[in-house]
Amino acid sequence: MNFKVMNFILAAVTLLFSTTVFAAAPIKIGALFAVTGPAAFLGEPERNSAKMVIDEINKSGGVKGRKLELVVYDTAGDATKAVQLATKLIKDDKVVAIIGPSTTGETMAVIPVAEKEQIPLISCSAGSKITDPVKRWVFKTAQNDALAVGKIFEHLQKNRMTKVSILTVSDGFGASGREQLKQQAAKYGISIVSDDTYGPKDTDMTAQLTKIRGAHAQAIICWGTNPGPAVIAKNARQLGIKTPLFMSHGVSSKKFIELAGEAAEGIKLPSGKVVVADMLSGSDKQKKSLMAFVKDYQKHYRAEGDHFGGHAWDAVMLIRNAVEKGADTAAAIRDQLEKTRNFAGIGGSFNYSGQDHAGLGKDAFVLVEIKNKDWVIVK
């Protein structure tokens, strides 16, 4: 066989091989985000971030020669709808993993579906009960509210503030936060002098705040997601309450500052590091990923990449890393997720194990304060 013929055959085989590789079926990933409705401030950046990172992965050749295909459904924050759409993703779309939902209540409703159908679910919600106790097919990327409570209490303890009032929203996220606030208080030498709640759709909390004012607390901790906490901030200012006001990580986005307006000034809250990425030390192991995410999101959507979009970015990258290690089935992806060690993501440095499907430690949070309509790190 002459040299030219051999070259022709080699080129044909190479072309055939490349075509076969790139013609391989994409790996389908499902996503459940509250893109519309009251929780849209969570779901929209999550949807945007997931699409952005998957588009970039595919443009760079995919993972091991295979593209990732994202199938997104809008739950509108409704738990019943989330369950229906999770079933659709599994039965009709044949996804190998699901990212989301956006809220704790939706996630708790979807967990039985993921467990029964044996599909890995990577929630973007914060409730501790999502992964405590550990469920075989369920992981999460949002920092636990237990860690957020600890961050606030550490600050109060350091500043010898021992009497607090708590005001929590009456939904899954609020109930989980309230449980952690009450459970951890004694550990930090803190007593809860008043404990009240408000409804997710309430538009005035002056009655609760008036009672709190009479409790003579040294700090007020509000646990909820927009828009309720912004209403509370405004009501507190209208009532002339000067007691330091702390919020949960559930409002860690510029949306809260926009909603609360001048009443946001001086409020402190635990947050993922992404909102203060440029203020971090160069030695911070997350900084590279954080800055890349912030710049990327700004480029694509002309807005700041936030804490919530980061949950979806982390979930996609965790799946991508599992596929890179050869996992392309639901069971294999689950197993690889559980082996994740030292992944420096947006939410923190992830270390999953058979005993821990939340994967983050206290260093995932910084305490921030709102000053001049922006974030600063509380030293």
For residue range 299-348, what is the model confidence (pLDDT) as tens digits? Answer: 999 988 888 999 999 999 999 999 999 999 999 999 999 999 999 999 99
Strand order in the sheet with 68-74: 68-74, 27-33, 97-99, 121-123, 138-140
For residue 323, the model assigns a pLDDT of: 97
Return the percent helix, strand and coil in the chain, to nearest 5: 50, 20, 35
Task: Report which of 312, 274, 336, 360 is spatially closest to residue 100, judged by C-alpha positions.
Answer: 312
Residue 142 DSSP one-character state:
S
Pairing of strands 365-371, 374-377: antiparallel
For residue 343, the model assigns a pLDDT of: 95
For residue 114, the model assigns a pLDDT of: 98
For residue range 72-95, what is the model confidence (pLDDT) as tens digits? Answer: 999 999 999 999 999 999 999 999
For residue 285, the model assigns a pLDDT of: 87
How far apart are alpha carbons 289 and 128 in whole angstroms? 25
Domain boundaries 146-278+365-377, corresponding CATH code: 3.40.50.2300
Q: Which CATH architecture has domain 22-144+286-364?
A: 3-Layer(aba) Sandwich (3.40)
Quick check: pTM over 0.75? yes
% of the chain surpassing 70 pLDDT: 94
Question: What residues does CATH 3.40.50.2300 cover in the chain?
Answer: 22-144+286-364, 146-278+365-377
Q: Tell me the residue type at 167.
A: L
- pLDDT at residue 221 is higher than 80: yes
CA 310, 149, 352, 225 torsion-angle sign: negative
